[in-house]
């Protein structure tokens, strides 16, 4: 079974926003925020999307 890493999902999200032609500032802000969030997830031992829950974002 294939799994999706949170960092890869973050990258795909950014690529989708670029495809939707969002402003460079918005893309940069998303990228910064998602990098911080990904670092947080790694510190908590959450690296796969399957291990992610809404509670993860609430605590973040």
CA–CA distance, 31 with 45 (Å, rounded to integer): 21
Q: Is the dihedral of CA 54, 55, 56, 57 positive or negative?
A: positive
Give the residue extent of every domain in the chain: 6-47
Q: pLDDT tens digit string along 9-20?
A: 999 999 999 999
pLDDT at 1: 47
d(CA 3, CA 27): 25
Buried b (16+ CB within 10 A) or exposed e, 12-50: eebeeeeeeeeeeeebeebeeebeebbeebeeeebbeee
Mean per-residue pLDDT, 36-49? 93
């Amino acid at each position: 079974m294939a799994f999706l890493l949170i960092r890869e999902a973050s990258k795909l999200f950014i690529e989708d926003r670029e495809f939707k032609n969002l402003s460079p500032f918005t893309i940069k802000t998303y990228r910064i925020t998602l990098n911080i969030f990904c670092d947080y997830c790694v510190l908590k031992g959450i690296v796969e999307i399957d291990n992610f829950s809404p509670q993860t974002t609430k605590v973040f």
